[in-house]
Amino acid sequence: MIDQYDILNSMENEKKPARASIPKSGLARLYFIDQQIASGKFPNTGYLAKKWEGISVSTISRDIEFMKDRLNAPIEYDALHRGYYYSEPHYRIPMGFSSADELLALGMAKNILTLYKETPIYDAAHHLLDSIIAPLAAESNSDWYENRIVVPQVPSAPIPPEVWSPVTAALRENRVLTFDYQGAYDEGYKNRRVRPYQLLFDTGIWYLYGFSEERKGIRIFSLRRMKNIALTEGHFSLPKDFDYRAGSGGSHFGVFAGQKKHRFKIAFYDYSVTWVNDRQWEDDQKITKTGDGIIITFTSTQFEKVLEWVLSRGCTARPLEPELLVNAWQSNIEEMRKMAV
């Protein structure tokens, strides 16, 4: 015997007009539809409309098309069971982003993705966030943040898929990589064999952090200067102390593979006082006011980065400790003085 809903669902597998967006009030209904489909009961639009009182079959149909088109839900219609199912059994629409504030936060997070724009992950991540925040599209002025909350562009190095794919595969599978690499002081490319530990991102540049078998030690490699990358059959086990963050001593100065920890003491003056005070440079930093500025003290393994930091502030910064930093700073000033003559 055919019930009243079989006729309504006889054309379930035909394409319905998809809604462009869904109001926030409809979010709960989407989660209900998702739960019913994921249950394995093969619900159809008639059944769902009956369960969700006050909604028409056509509204449920548009909801399903919205889930397929905008949320990329793998919904299929089974003619034998006369209902819907997920072709990817473990799929669920995101349940944690139901509040307007959370959806708005994710929308704003899209702007942060501009930092990753020159990598192959950008399009996938951007598309995913778009699908999650799609329900906001129905709210008037919902995209006000697009041009009001901006992450300024930084100089970046495009990473092609032929570099990104083998590197991430090696990280995932703990496999040794070989590649040709040109170091900062190398005249040409040299072959490297590396156990990759982590990918690091620093102001527009991606770096590979790992163990160099040739150098028998930790090294950092810019992905931009890697070519002829190959996955080997060799596997390795991650050491307990593989994490870059542990080796950096908690420093916030960017990517640098330092080993020796130094205690720094630096004086800042004039406009650099506000600039330094605005940021957290080290977990153990201490800032003391002086008559004409401030003195910041902290510990870090990132000697070269700290030297760059001090030099970048020109005449408004002066290193006090350690002596190694003071000497390096004075040497750079002397070389610049010679160039200025």
**One domain for residues 233 and 282:** no
Is residue 153 domain-resident?
no
β-bridge mates for residue 198, sequence order:
209
Task: Provide the residue range defining the domain that includes 108.
Answer: 100-147
* Residues 239 and 260 placed together within one structural domain of the fold: no
Does a structural domain hold residue 76? yes
Query: What average pLDDT does range 277-292 have in this prediction?
Result: 93
- Residue finishing a domain among 224, 243, 262: 243
- Is 21 part of a structural domain of the chain? yes
The pLDDT-based confidence of 12 (bands split at 50, 70, 90) is very low
The predicted pLDDT at position 107 comes to: 67
Check whether residue 264 and residue 326 sit in a common domain. Answer: yes
189 exposed, middle or buried (CB, 10 Å; 0-12, 13-18, 19+)? middle
**Is 283 a domain residue?**
yes
174 lies in the same domain as 232: yes
| 51 and 15 together in one domain | yes
Q: C-alpha distances in angstroms, 99 versus 26, 104, 336?
A: 12, 9, 56
Closest by CA position to 168, among listed 128, 204, 199: 199
pTM: 0.64
Asked if residue 39 and residue 120 are part of one domain, the reply reads: no
Residue predicted with more confidence, 256 or 24 = 256
**What is the arithmetic mean of pLDDT over 87-113?**
69
Domain count of the fold of the chain: 4
Which pair of structure tokens corresponds to residue 70? 């905008």
Residue closest to 163 by CA, chosen among 151, 143, 149, 177: 177
Please tell me the predicted confidence (pLDDT) of residue 132. Answer: 60
In-domain check, residue 155: no
- Report pLDDT digits (tens) over 223-241: 999 999 999 999 999 999 8
The predicted structure's pLDDT at residue 13? 45
- pLDDT, residue 225, reads 94
Edge-to-edge strand order for the sheet containing 175-181?
Answer: 217-222, 205-212, 190-202, 175-181, 226-235
Position 318 scores a pLDDT of 97
Whether 91 is in a domain gets the answer no
Q: Does the pLDDT at position 6 exceed 50? A: no
Asked if residue 324 has pLDDT above 60, the reply is yes
Q: Are 212 and 261 part of one and the same domain?
A: no
Average per-residue pLDDT in the chain?
A: 83
Are residues 229 and 166 part of one domain? yes
pLDDT at site 189: 94
Last residue of a domain, one of 219, 243, 267: 243
Are 273 and 287 found together in one domain? yes
What local confidence, expressed as pLDDT, does residue 133 receive? 62
If one compares 71 and 97, the residue with the highest pLDDT of the two is 71
